[in-house]
Each structure stands twice: as structure tokens, then as C-alpha cells.
Structure 1
Amino acid sequence: MSEHVVVIGAVALGPKAACRFKRIRQDAKVTLIDRDEIFSYGGCGIPYFVSGDVTDANQLRTTAFHMVRDEPFFQDIKGVDVLSSTEATKIDRENKQVHVTDLKTGKKSVIDYDQLVIGTGATPRKLNLPGEELENVFYVGNMHDAEKIKAGVTSGKYGKAVVVGAGFIGLEMAEAFADMWGIETTVVEIFEQILPRMCTPVLAKMGQTHMEEQGVAFKLGQTVSRIEGNGKVERVVTSDGEIEADIVIISAGVIPNDKLARECGLECSERGGIIVDEFMRTSDPLIYSGGDCVIIKNAVDDSPMFLPMGSMANRQGRVIGGNLAGRNETFPAAAGSWVVKLFEKSMAGTGMSLGAAKQAGFDAVSVMLIMADRAHFYPVKDMMTLEMVVDKATRRVLGLQGYAGSGDAMVGRINAVAGIMKYKPVIEDVSNLEVAYSPPFASAMDVLNAIANMADNALAGMNHGHGPDVFAEYWADRESGDYCFLDVREYADAEPFLTKYPEHWRNIPQGEIPKRFEELPKDKKLVLICNTGGRSYEAQIMLDALGFKEVLNTQGGMAVLKAFGVDI
């Protein structure tokens, strides 16, 4: 009798594991089980279906060659049996059986297995707010929710939207409402920044400022206490007031679906999630698991990590499929790479943010650089802001995050670093990282090499840099007389600010500092500024050598100040 592999969950990991195994073992029987009638779809594409970028919901279910991934597709093309609208209710490890219920008929049955895969994914975290039951309040958890939202959007039912949560899904849904459909959109977030824990407040503020320029409003540092309305939602009540709403999206993160695993005695994390080894095996050697329901190893510090990503699920599914067939493939760790599109800009990262690194116990610092993403003389280019997080003692690169107009260019840099994170790279590894070069694609000294060099200079004590947040504090306190704001650009660039702030803004072009340094006060902090931070760094080096004690370089210069929203 041929071996029977049963896979519970058929959205991302499950189909990948099932089909990979079947390709290796054509003689085996494979059964996919899913409680929904719609399965094997790209859930990460839901915001783009709502926005209209993806015009048909079935596009999220089709292959690259335009076949819908339904039961006949898996049966005829992949040789995999599918039991949709079927819920797995119990795993009997002793008898190697899965108890299931047909959700359409109520019929119960038992399926024997030789090996089992749990790919039950994750569920939106419920806030259990008063008023959640009102019409037009959604947790975006599946295609059914997506189609209801899209139907309301296209019919013009919604004029005002509130999105609870400023993580990936929340921001993507906010863009979907505001961009294509012109819906007045407000995002409410309990933390004081968007993308909490993913990047520093400085980068987060850049993304927020851009979204605000596109019409999205933010209520940060606020909680939602209840949702009100008469049958359907009319308003959201927060800790700071009320917001009118015709539709509410709650995107407060997800929690792993580990109930089946816990109930059958598999080892699970106290905080949620099935524990697996590098082979994606659970504590039962006949049961594998992966995707949004498991805990994996963080490549930066080897700590346990919950990382619900569709890309992760697909890669893990391939590993599981191979191991079901007797191979010894591994998924050792993940750096936690991410990217999100925010209208015309994008944000991305890998590894740890500065806050996360400090929380993990590293003596971490970060440096920020803004630079053209290709040769400065090439006519088509965009500015890219990168922030690198490093450990002072070991010089290890702990993370890299960015904000840019060209998301493709930035993701290329992020991915380059992500690929070496599991090897615990140090600054020199990135400083000397080989990247493909041609002026239409990169600078001779790539932005990635440049930010590593900047980190090296910072640890050597050569670059006394601060970000736009610190500059904003100094600027707000300019009347104290403690600061001298020195613009080291040419006069034509500095002239508007000299006219606007004659008492506070000074100008000595960087090349004239050796001749004119005596014009500068030595009893004040010298806050240097240029367009992107390059000239102000050179000026800082000069002034340090001339005996000035407190010289501070504004990393990223005017470009970052503008993106950050500093009003000068």
C-alpha cells in the first residue's frame, strides 16, 4: 500500500509541501484538507485586490500560466486530492489519524496518515471591542472578507474609513482606500509610530509624512475603546475622541493557529506557535509544520521568532516536501526581511531595528545615509535613505532598514544584506560587499557600501552624527542661544534660510571653512547641515581638527529633514 501524506491547511505552505512531495514521490497518496471552499490563494495580495490593482479575485488564485488552483487543478495537474470545506478537528498521534468534519454536510470521518503536515496558518488578532459586530467592520483574514470590502468600495458605500493598526496590512489597506477610491482614511495606532518594532521612529515618520501628503490621517499613541453605530458602523471612539467611519478595518496583527497541535500534545511556545527544528519537524518526527503557525530561529541572535510571511511559508513548504520524501533539507533561520509599498514610496528592512537590537541586549547604534540609488550623473535616479544598525563591541551588522522612491532598487540592497545575516556579518563584510555596477543601476561606491563605511566612521569616533529628530529638538530650542546652525552648502542654496532666519542660520561653504573658521563661535554647539550629509561630514572633520569641541553633523541633511517633516 502506498504511503499517505495528509496536509492540514491549503493556503500557502500546505499546497507547496504537498506538491513538492508528490513531484518526488509519484507513487504516494497526498491529501490536502482546508476548512474553506476557497484555498491556495495569495493572501498578501488582498489589499491590492481592494485597491483595484488586482482587478479580479481569481487572479489571487491562479498560477503564472492562468489556471485557477481549485480541486480539479490539484487533482488533474498535481495529483493531489483536496478536501475543501472540511475541518480537521483532532489529531490522533497514537493511531496516526486525523478526525475531520465536512462543514457542508456535517458528516464526520477519520483519515489515516503515514506522515502529517500542519499548515494551519494564523488568525487576525481579535480586539473584542464593543461594536465589532456592526455591519462594515472587518478583520481581513480571508478572501470572503476581501470580496465584501471590494463590493462596498466599488459601489460607493464608503466615504470615510478607519484602519486600526499601522502594521503592514493596515498601511496597505489605508493606501488602497485613499489612493484608488478617494476614501477619507484615518489610521489609529496604539504605538507612537507606524510599523512599530520594524524600524526607528525616524524612518517611520518619513513614511508617515509621505502618506499624510497623500491624504491619509494618523492618530498615533491612541487606543480604540469602542465602535458605535445603529446596525452598521458610524464612528470609532478612541482614547482621544471620535472618528466618523463608514467602514472599519481592524489589523492588529495575527496569532498562530496552533490549537490542533496543542491538543494532540505537540510542543508549542507559551506565547503561541508550534515549535519546529531546522528540518521543520515538530516534537513528533512524523509530523511537520511551517508557515504562519510556527516559531522559527532568528538569524541575528538565534532567539525564537514568529514571522508570518507568505514568502516564508512557500520556502518552508518546499523544505517540508523534500523531507517528507526522505531528504534532509533545512530551514535554519530567518533574518525577518520585509517590504511595504506606501503610495509612491516604499519601506523595507532586514534583521533588527535599533529598538529591537537594544531590547535583545546588544550595545547597538545606528547610522543614517541618504544617497542616489545609482550614479549621481545618470539622468534617471532616486534618493534612497538607509539606516544600518550595528553592535559597538563586535562591529556586527544587526539590521538594515530603508525608505525610498524606487522600491525595487532598495529591496535589492536589503536582500543583499539579508542573504548574509545568518553568517553574522560585520561592518567590513558590507563595506566590501560586491555589487553589480553600471551607472544606470548603481554608483561606483554603492549606497550599501557607503552606509557600512559610515558605520565604520561612527564607531571610530570620526562621524558625530544625529538624525532629523535630534535636529528638530535643537531647532525648536534655537532661541536658547546654545546652538549655531551652520549651512555648509554654497550661498545660493543657503540664501533662503539666511533671509528667513537671520539670527539663527549661518553659512560658510565647506570649501571656505579653513579660511573662515574664526567666524564661528566656540562656546556653542555647531549643528552642520547640507543637502544629504556628505559635505557636512567633511566640514565636521575639518572643524574637529581646528579645535571645535561640539560639532554635530546632520545625517541625511536637508533631504532627510524634508522627508521627516521638519518645518524650517
Structure 2
Amino acid sequence: MSQHVVVIGAVALGPKAAARFKRMEPGSSVTMIDREELISYGGCGIPYFVSGDISDSRALRSTSFHMVRDEAFFRDTKGVDVLTGVEALEIDRSARVVHARRLNDQTPLRLPYDKLVLAMGSTPRRLGLPGETLGGVRHVANLHDAERIRDAVAKGRVKKAVVVGAGFIGLEMAEALTDMWGVETSVVEIAPQILPRVVGPVLARMALRHLRSKGVRFHLGESVREFTGNEAGRVCGVRTDASRLEADLVIVAAGVIPNAGLARASGLDVSARGGIVVNARLQTSDARIYAGGDCVELRHLITGDPFYLPMGSLANRQGRVIGTNLAGGAAQFEGAQGSFVVKLFDKTVAGSGLTLETARTCGFDALSVLIVQPDRAHFYPTREAMTLELVFERGTRRILGIFGFGSAGDALVGRVDAVAAMLRYRPVIDDLSNLEMAYSPPFASAMDIVNSLGNLADNVLAGRNAVLGPDEFERLWNNGNGERPYFLDCREEADARQLVACAGERWHNIPQGRIRERLDEIPRDRPVVVVCNTGARSYEALVTLKESGLEDVASVQGGLAALGSLGAAP
């Protein structure tokens, strides 16, 4: 029997669900509505349109075969009726009717349904601060916002910009303004690091240092108090609790809020965080109504707890699940774990799962290790350092998360994705040590960096390696002689000579291969901190020192490569 499906929302999940359903039930009908005129676009591409990497906004609305996804496209190629400029007002669940209106003339519409899909997305978080309605203060909610920002910048009306928020969108917009247009850009973030709750502090500092080297200015740990305007009613500055910043443009990227008001008003279950509650089939508390994308709350695959993750990739995959189930299927979307990647000029930050801080907050007895290794064989002429951090549980050895910082290529993302694919199956460290990876010198090392990462975690848990994070090294070094550690550089003399000369008498060099014959030079009444380029030789030096009877010895994770990326080298 044919049925009529109504879809509220036509950006990501809605079109995917509608098209999937029509392919499975060609004889049924679908009506999709959206309050905006522009539909079915790649919202995650907005920063790259603003930057100029994507020259025409229509590219974000086009298929791979260059057809613009508008009302005619959906009608003619997908068999889906689309009504743009239409706002849903009420869901009458007992009568199974959506009451709506046309925004241009307020004409009421009555849309009966057999099944209903809520794909209403999210709304940028407003700060509720003085001056937030001034001209030039933008919240990037849709493609129209992006076009207005791009137009102002391209016409030379923006010399200085302030971005509020150092999450994904905030950093991508800061890059877009700085890199292509040369706009003097400052980022204000209330947290003490960029990408808060997304990566740990060490990788965040590495990324921050890189962004600053590209000219982006940061005000971390500061709260915005107001946006100041000129006589023309346009923004001219931002005042925080510590700074006053000039601005011709302000982009507020302080997160988003799920659009769940319509669901709540119709009596559907909505979580305390504001997301629509759905089951694994993406049904709401009303079995005839499905929901997904930015307006729903999901199950975290590692903790099992509900969480909120607004991402276009999730919305598309959920749309297929919903489309299948609308046609009587039994597809399930079990949850997510927060896999991400963000491009920051010519570097990349990627990750999946729980950070160390989040894991501990969730009750895990968690540890983390960090490694630096070339992204391909060490003898291959073109190679770059890659930094990976692994979060794992002490007793069970279960892997909880992986995060990385490296060049803006596919190598880092490939490693993170390989581990991300395992996380839902509760992998342990041994699985990572023995993970089979494709190998050829132009692409990887024979002992891949993810294998080495698992081996490092295993050695730490077994007590064979005592590690010191690069941030902990920085604290010890800057503490002067308070804790009086003996800093031992175990690289070859030619490699260590410059640092020995610069760091003075606090820095000692004994090559790793000569430690046994020079043990009498190393004090036994002080902590010993061993350093090499990446942490590999310093681990072997640590084994030698412990064998000789020294107990208070630690190897610096990631070595001087990590310290350099962090800006913490002596």
C-alpha cells in the first residue's frame, strides 16, 4: 500500500531520507518542506566558500554531475515534492497532520502524513550580549550567511575580524579570513585551549602554535562582554573581560542548539540537553515519527551515554537509515563516537573517541601516551612527522580514543580512521600493536606508527617505560633547579652539540650507545629525564639506566620533535 511521507527540513538528512525512501517505494509520495529557499547544500563546505577555495556557492548545492539540487531537481530526478519558504508550525499527532505556512504571504498549509521525518537541524547559539544585533555580527547558520560574509570580505570592507569560539567552525573561519583574504583575525575562546573537549591540551597547544605562526591571534580564557558599534549601527569592536579588539566583522561560532521546539510542543520526548530522543531505528517516542541529524541526541558508542554531535556525515548516514525504515526496513543507527578532522592551514588535527580528561570524567581509570614518528619509512626522501595520542583504560587495556596532529594530507586521517573503525568493538592495546596496515616505504613504515603507539602503551602499562609528557617536561625545565632533575640528551654528539651549547650546564649529552661506559657521570640521587629526537632511543636508554640500578628515570614522549611542536624545547 502506498503511503505519504512528510519531511520537515531539506538540508542534509531530509533529502537523503526522502530519496532513499522513494527508491525503495517508488509508488509512495514524499513532500519535503524547508523555511529557507536554498536547500540540500554541503554546510560543512561553508568555510571553504568563504575562503575562496570554492569559488561559487552553487558548488555546495550541486551533485557530482553538476546538477543543482533545487525544487525542480528533486521533483524531476527523485520524485520528491519540495516546498521552500514554508515553515512548520504544529504537528497534530492524533490527526497525523503538519500545519504550516508560506512565509512570503502567510498562506496556511495542511500536510497530512502517514509517516513524518523531523530533519530540522540546529540553530547557532546566541550569546545574548549587548550589541549582538549590530550589523557585521554574523552567526553562520546557512548559505545566505556565508554569502554575506564572503561578499563583505571580497569587497574589501573587512580589515579586522574577531571570531568568537575556537571549535571546528571558529578555527576554519579564522583560517578562511586570514589565509585567502589577509584579514587581521583574532579568536576569542572562553576555555584555556583551542578545540576544548575535542583534543587534549598537548595537541591543542601544537595546533595553536601552528595557527599563531600563520598570523591568527588568540585570546584564550577570555569571555566576551559586549559588541561595540559605531554611529551607523555596525560593529566596530569586541570587549572581553581582558581585552578590547577592533573589528569590522564578528563571527559568532559558539556552538549550536538542536531545533527541537516543534517536537517538544507536540509532546515528543526531548532530552534535558534539548535533543530529540530517538531509538536505534531513529524513531521518536511516536513510532510514526522519525528524527535525525543535528536535532537529535545520540548514544555514545564508548560510554553508552547520550550525547550531542552535530555533523553532516552523521546526518547523511542517518538519513539512509530513516529512508530504509520508512519503507518497512529494520536498519539501525547504533550511535557514534565523535570522529572528526579539521584542516588548519597546512596542518591537520583529527581524532575519535574520548580525550583523557573526558574518559576520566566518565569514570574510566584512563591513561594516555604520545608518540612522534615519520608518516612513511624513515629512509624515504619525503616524509613528515606525525604525532598521535592514545587514550586507554589501565585495567582492561581497552582503547578509548585516538587523536593526532600532522600535515594536511591523508596519512594522519588514515591512521585515525583505522583505529576509529575499531572503537565500537572494544579493542585493546594488543589489537593495536598487531593491527595489519598496508605497507610500502612511500606510504608507511614497516612498523607503522599505530603499531608503535600500541607498543608504547603496552610498555607503559608493564612498567618497562616510564614516560614524561612534553608539557610535564616543560614544567620541570622551567622550574629551574627546584626539583633538580638531571636532563640527559642521549642523541649522538653531533646532533646534541647545539642544544648543549645553548642550554648550558643543565643539559647533558651521553649518546645512547655509550651510556653503559659512562654510568658514573649520571647522579643517582636525582631524577633523570632522558630525551632524544622522538622517544625511541630515550626508551632504550631508560632500560639501560634501570638495569644499572637507577629507579627515578623517565623518557620524554615524542622527544624533541614533540617539544618543538609545543614550543617547549630548552
Shorter chain as denominator, the TM-score bin is over 0.9
Aligned with residue 345 of structure 1, among 335, 347, 350: 347
Q: Is the 8 A contact 1:388 1:451 kept in 2?
A: yes
Q: Where do 1:400-549 residues align within 5 Å?
A: 400-480=402-482, 482-549=484-551
- Give the match for residue 106 of structure 1: 106
- Give the match for residue 29 of structure 2: 29
- Give the match for residue 5 of structure 1: 5
1:386 aligns with 2:394: no
Match of 1:420, SS?
helix
Residue identity opposite 1:468 in structure 2: P
Q: Is the 8 A contact 1:468 1:566 kept in 2?
A: yes
- Give the match for residue 66 of structure 2: 66
Q: Is the 8 A contact 2:435 2:451 kept in 1?
A: yes
Cα deviation, residue 403, structure 1: 0.2
Cα deviation, residue 567, structure 1: 4.8
Q: Where do 1:271-286 residues align within 5 Å?
A: 271-286=273-288
Residue identity opposite 2:538 in structure 1: S
- Give the match for residue 183 of structure 1: 183
Q: Is the 8 A contact 2:372 2:562 kept in 1?
A: yes
Using the alignment, how far apart are the partners of 2:86 and 2:188 within structure 1? 36
Match of 1:158, SS?
coil
Q: Where do 1:152-301 residues align within 5 Å?
A: 152-230=152-230, 231-301=233-303
Using the alignment, how far apart are the partners of 1:263 and 1:417 within structure 2? 41
Using the alignment, how far apart are the partners of 2:224 and 2:53 within structure 1? 30
Q: Give me the CA root mean square deviation.
A: 0.9
Identity of aligned residues (%): 55
Q: Where do 1:323-334 residues align within 5 Å?
A: 323-334=325-336
Cα deviation, residue 261, structure 1: 0.7
Using the alignment, how far apart are the partners of 1:481 and 1:69 within structure 2? 65
Q: Where do 1:15-26 residues align within 5 Å?
A: 15-26=15-26
Residue identity opposite 1:448 in structure 2: V
Q: Is the 8 A contact 1:483 1:525 kept in 2?
A: yes
- Give the match for residue 309 of structure 1: 311
The TM-score with structure 2 as length reference comes to 0.99
- Give the match for residue 373 of structure 1: 375
Q: Is the 8 A contact 1:341 1:407 kept in 2?
A: no
Q: Is the 8 A contact 2:560 2:569 kept in 1?
A: no
**Residue range with higher mean Cα deviation, 167-176 or 431-440:** 431-440
Cα deviation, residue 406, structure 1: 4.0
Match of 2:350, SS?
strand
Q: Is the 8 A contact 2:90 2:266 kept in 1?
A: yes
Q: Is the 8 A contact 1:282 1:289 kept in 2?
A: yes
Cα deviation, residue 481, structure 1: 6.1
- Give the match for residue 136 of structure 1: 136
Match of 2:335, SS?
coil
Q: Is the 8 A contact 1:346 1:405 kept in 2?
A: yes
Using the alignment, how far apart are the partners of 2:501 and 2:273 within structure 1? 58
Using the alignment, how far apart are the partners of 2:566 and 2:503 within structure 1? 20
Structure 1 pair 481–328 and aligned structure 2 pair: CA distance change class (3 A): closer
Q: Is the 8 A contact 2:487 2:531 kept in 1?
A: yes
Cα deviation, residue 501, structure 1: 2.2
Using the alignment, how far apart are the partners of 1:492 and 1:477 within structure 2? 28
**Residue range with higher mean Cα deviation, 69-78 or 425-434:** 425-434
Cα deviation, residue 35, structure 1: 0.4
Using the alignment, how far apart are the partners of 1:184 and 1:547 within structure 2? 56
Match of 1:501, SS?
helix
Q: Is the 8 A contact 1:333 1:422 kept in 2?
A: no
Residue identity opposite 1:379 in structure 2: P
Using the alignment, how far apart are the partners of 2:124 and 2:21 within structure 1? 30
Give CA-to-partner distance per residue, 1:269-300, whole Å, 9 cap, x none.
Answer: 01110111111111111111100111111011
Q: Is the 8 A contact 1:394 1:426 kept in 2?
A: yes
Cα deviation, residue 502, structure 1: 2.4
Using the alignment, how far apart are the partners of 2:276 and 2:196 within structure 1? 24
Give CA-to-partner distance per residue, 1:176-205, whole Å, 9 cap, x none.
Answer: 011111111111100000000111100000
Match of 1:479, SS?
coil
Using the alignment, how far apart are the partners of 1:430 and 1:104 within structure 2? 57
Give CA-to-partner distance per residue, 1:149-194, whole Å, 9 cap, x none.
Answer: 0001101111111110000000000000111111111111000000
Cα deviation, residue 484, structure 1: 1.1
Q: Where do 1:105-124 residues align within 5 Å?
A: 105-124=105-124
Deviating beyond 3 angstroms after TM superposition, the runs of 4 or more aligned structure 1 residues are none
Residue identity opposite 2:382 in structure 1: V
Residue identity opposite 1:221 in structure 2: G
Cα deviation, residue 380, structure 1: 2.0
- Give the match for residue 49 of structure 2: 49
Using the alignment, how far apart are the partners of 1:53 and 1:178 within structure 2? 13
Q: Is the 8 A contact 1:193 1:204 kept in 2?
A: yes
Structure 1 pair 407–305 and aligned structure 2 pair: CA distance change class (3 A): farther
Give CA-to-partner distance per residue, 1:244-274, whole Å, 9 cap, x none.
Answer: 1111111000111001111111111011101
Using the alignment, how far apart are the partners of 2:386 and 2:521 within structure 1? 34
Q: Is the 8 A contact 1:163 1:248 kept in 2?
A: yes
Q: Is the 8 A contact 1:367 1:455 kept in 2?
A: yes
Using the alignment, how far apart are the partners of 2:101 and 2:430 within structure 1? 57
Question: 5+ residue gaps in structure 2?
Answer: none
Residue identity opposite 2:64 in structure 1: A
Using the alignment, how far apart are the partners of 1:565 and 1:11 within structure 2? 42
Residue identity opposite 2:455 in structure 1: N
Give CA-to-partner distance per residue, 1:436-473, whole Å, 9 cap, x none.
Answer: 11111111111111101111111111111111111110
Match of 2:487, SS?
strand
Q: Is the 8 A contact 2:228 2:238 kept in 1?
A: yes
Q: Is the 8 A contact 2:118 2:290 kept in 1?
A: yes
Question: 5+ residue gaps in structure 1?
Answer: none
Q: Is the 8 A contact 1:478 1:504 kept in 2?
A: no
Residue identity opposite 1:320 in structure 2: I
Residue identity opposite 2:258 in structure 1: P
Using the alignment, how far apart are the partners of 2:136 and 2:460 within structure 1? 51
Match of 1:478, SS?
coil
Using the alignment, how far apart are the partners of 1:368 and 1:501 within structure 2? 25
Cα deviation, residue 405, structure 1: 0.8
Aligned with residue 322 of structure 2, among 310, 320, 323: 320
- Give the match for residue 564 of structure 1: 566
Using the alignment, how far apart are the partners of 2:2 and 2:217 within structure 1? 59
- Size of the alignment, in residue pairs? 568
Give CA-to-partner distance per residue, 1:103-136, whole Å, 9 cap, x none.
Answer: 0111012100001100001111110110111111
Match of 2:505, SS?
coil
